[in-house]
Structure 1
Amino acid sequence: MYRFLLTPRWWGINVFVLLAIPFCVFMGSWQLSRFEARVDEHRDAESAATDARRETPRPLTELLPVDKATAGRQTTATGRYAEQLLVPDRELDGRDGFYVLTLLRTDDGKALPVVRGWLPGDADTAKAPAPPSGEVTVTGALQASETPGDNGVSARGGLPAGQTAAISAASLVNLVPYDLYDAWVTLDKADPGLTTVPPGRTADTGLDLKAFQNLGYTGEWFVFAGFVVFMWFRLLRREVEYQRDAELGLLPEDEPAHA
């Protein structure tokens, strides 16, 4: 009854099944490993962020350029505050508002953007607290320059004078007359009248949408493998029933024979 399995048609079906199932299992396992790797990266990033908040602040120049290893680490810089700008469309605790960004002129002539704190959107921005005068030493979390349009950073233009959409040297270079560090700092403790801005997550270290896409693809590949097995058994059962009906002479006269 099962001689039909030796026909060219079934040889093709069986070879396809024997190749498809391992391929689906391999791809599912690979996607699962990618998900697990992203989970591990997320845990490592959380652990690194916790350690960074506890470590002794290091001079700014020792942590530049900013990368995954240095972003979020505690740093310190000394200088004098200069221009102050507002960064709109910044959410904190579910409320929209502004970052108060002040440029810190260091001894080498370059300026470090410093987020001194956050103001709610309904605040009188014209009365944003002025920065301290004289030489100051700031301590906070080092952050990588932002890219407009990424990670919720606004890309809109036409902002009023005294505002910038993104905190980056590229965005600020036309607003101030001196060189800038390609980094910024958010203070550990906001200046009076402002709310402390927590450091942001380093790009590509969080448990983001890509991780859950990997998990979804894992399920899809295993479902495909199960579907291949299901269809093979369904075709096999159909063929066995056809052969049984043929032996019993129950087939209609005009029904063609299977190859």
Structure 2
Amino acid sequence: MSTSPSPLTDPASDTAPATMWQIARRPRWIGALILALAIAASFAALGQWQLSRSLEGGEITEQQSETIVALDSVATAQAPLSYLTTGQAVTFEAELIAGDYIVLSDRNNDVEGRGYWVVGHAVEPSGASVAVALGWAATSDAAASAISQLQASPLAATITGRLLPTESPQQSDFEQGQRSALAVSELVNLWSEVPAGTYGGYVVSFEAPAGLEAIDSPPPSTEVSLNLLNVFYAVEWVVFAGFAVFLWCRLVRDVWEEEREVSTPDPAVD
């Protein structure tokens, strides 16, 4: 005589709940893992990029900056000056415009202290304009005397010096009626004519004309400094990358706990 299986001995009731490893191997969670790893890899790449940007300076070695090159090989008129060319020694042929000399006050020159810069308007054969800091004078009278000599001398010259980025105009210059910043954007409005565009930086001449002293222009610093803000961002991206994987593990665990709770009978229920 056959007997029907008792509910208490039903094989289905003895089926063990799936393990976390078994749940993780389901197609749905494999796809979720691939997505989490892709997101984590993106965050890690961003962290590496931030870390590389945390090292400031040292991009240009002293040997590179002190090798004299043609101005038009490292800079272009009417284009921003690249930070990689800051401090580069350059040379170019130009004509100094007689009526466009400017005197800048409150300019420091190493041990001599504060004084005056004489800035000239140089025009290349192509017609592009270059602001050139020609030399330093201790007094305004000495600067004016040097300008008088420059206007009486031949205007064509080969200029060799250090290329530096333009400075920002100072509000105090307008209030006091004098200028202290070498701002190319301001000089363009003071020069008599700009034939064909202007370079975005200026050149500090290595040699000063008669009546002026050479302006101190040391090579750019090659020291490497650490930007802590970028380091913080790099660590932050790494944490985000780890959180993407952690979130996947947490979701798999939640599913495993839910299935185990459903498959395990409550001992309080008879």
The answer, yes or no, to whether TM exceeds 0.5 is yes
Instruction: State the alpha-carbon separation in 1 of the partners of residues 255 and 245 from structure 2.
Output: 15
Aligned counterpart, 2:191: 176
- Return closer, same or farther for 1:244/1:172 CA change in 2, 3 Å cut-off: same
Quote the residue 1:257 is aligned against.
Answer: none
Instruction: Provide the rounded CA distance (Å) in 1 between the counterparts of 2:75 and 2:174.
Output: 31
Can you list the C-alpha shifts for 1:75-101, whole angstroms capped at 9, x where unaligned? 14465565222176x7888xx977724
* Larger mean Cα displacement after TM superposition, 17-26 or 188-197: 188-197
**Structure 2 CA distance for partners of 1:154 and 1:207, relative to 1, 3 Å:** farther
Q: Is 1:86 aligned with 2:110?
A: no
Q: Aligned-pair distance for 1:114?
A: 1.6
**Identity of counterpart residues, as a percentage?**
21
Query: Aligned residue for 1:65?
Result: 76
Gaps of 5+ in 1: 254-259
The residue type paired with residue 85 of structure 1 is V
**Distance in 2 of aligned mates of 1:14 and 1:87:** 70
Q: Aligned with 1:158: secondary structure?
A: helix
Distance 1:173 1:116, change over 3 A: same
Distance in 2, matches of 1:193 and 1:73, equals 19
Candidates 17, 25, 32, aligned match of 2:41: 25
Q: Structure 1, residues 208-250: CA drift from partner, whole Å, max 9, x if none?
A: 97x974x655543332231133234344445555655662626
Q: Secondary structure at the match of 1:178?
A: coil
Structure 2, unpaired ranges of 5+: 1-16
> Distance between the aligned counterparts of 2:74 and 2:30, measured in 1?
59
Q: CA deviation at 1:20?
A: 2.2
Q: 1:117 to 1:241 in 2, by over 3 A?
A: farther
Aligned partner of 2:63 in structure 1 is: 50
The answer for the alignment partner of 2:174 in structure 1 is: 158
Normalising by structure 1, what TM-score?
Answer: 0.56
5 Å-filtered alignment, 1:93-172, equals 100-104=117-121, 112-116=130-134, 126=140, 129-130=143-144, 131=146, 133=149, 134-135=153-154, 138-143=159-164, 146=166, 153-154=168-169, 156=171, 158-163=174-179, 165-168=181-184, 170-172=185-187
Alignment match, 2:217: 197
Q: Give aligned pairs, total.
A: 225
Distance 2:123 2:255 in 1: 82
1:188 CA displacement: 2.7
